[in-house]
Amino acid sequence: GAVVSQHPSWVICKSGTSVKIECRSLDFQATTMFWYRQFPKQSLMLMATSNEGSKATYEQGVEKDKFLINHASLTLSTLTVTSAHPEDSSFYICSVPGVVAFFGQGTRLTVV
Amino acid sequence: RKEVEQDPGPFNVPEGATVAFNCTYSNSASQSFFWYRQDCRKEPKLLMSVYSSGNEDGRFTAQLNRASQYISLLIRDSKLSDSATYLCVVNPSNTGKLIFGQGTTLQVKP
């Protein structure tokens, strides 16, 4: 069964609106979760590290005010894409670290 | 230079063929290494971890050369179901923060 559940699996939204993506760790508590983004025919790129009870750590070039991360509990991290634009259209995926990484199912975001 | 580099392919091979993928990484202090498989529009799934001694899982063999900072994956007797993108993945510091290669696309044809 799934270790990490990500929701929604796909979403289409209008330009200028915000979209929230949830990542839940089902089997164990996770003080840290990672958010990645993947554009077509490109590799997964780490966007940020979500830390339970403290601020997220963003990778260089990722706007923290645009990609809001909240890790309010040991089993849930959310990524909110604020004021989405077509260039934000991508595949967003979370992971929970362990001996190996466990990935959510991913969210395909299309901004029209 | 990218931290993890792979030949993107695509590799088009007939069923039953043997195919090898290569990967290089730039951080010599990297701790652990993996091959993941990603199907179109899906999340990556772990194929196998990679060890210096080499490891085999059925038709799949992975090898790590730390001196050359080189990782390989060999697939024997290719099946149609092996068609996917294979991601070379490096964990530089055992924090769980993974660095992904671009991926190598394999298409196995009947």
pLDDT digits (tens, 9 = 90+) for B60-92: 999 999 999 999 999 999 999 999 999 999 988
Residue B96 scores a pLDDT above 90: no
Whole-angstrom distance, CA of residue B53 vs CA of residue B96: 22
Mean pLDDT of A45-60: 93
Grade residue A105 by pLDDT with cuts at 50, 70 and 90: very high
On chain A, the residues whose CB falls within 8 A of the CB of B101 are 43
**pLDDT value at position A106?**
96
B7-39 pLDDT per residue, tens: 888 999 999 999 999 999 999 888 899 999 999
Among B8, B42, B96, beta carbon nearest to A101: B96
Distance spanning both ends of chain A, measured CA to CA: 34
CA distances in angstroms from A2 to A9, A38, A85, A87, A102, listed in the order given:
14, 21, 31, 30, 9
Asked whether the beta carbons of B66 and B52 are under 8 A apart, the reply is: yes
CA distance B20 to chain A (A): 19
Q: Do A43 and B87 touch (CB under 8 A)?
A: yes
Identity of the amino acid at A59: E
| B9 against A68, higher pLDDT | A68
**pLDDT value at position B70?**
94
Supply φ then ψ for residue B81, to 5 degrees.
-70, -10
| A1 against B97, higher pLDDT | B97
**HSE value, Cβ hemisphere, 13 Å, CA-based, for A24:** 7
Asked whether the beta carbons of A101 and A93 are under 8 A apart, the reply is: no
Residue with tokens 């508590």: A29
Q: Do B98 and A101 touch (CB under 8 A)?
A: yes
| B1 against A10, higher pLDDT | A10
Structure tokens at B19: 């195919």
- Helix or strand holding residue A84 (H, E): none
Q: Do B98 and A34 touch (CB under 8 A)?
A: yes
Asked whether the beta carbons of B109 and B12 are under 8 A apart, the reply is: yes
Mean pLDDT lowest among A4-8, A68-72, A88-92, B49-53: B49-53
A9 in contact with chain B, both atoms CB, cutoff 8 A: no
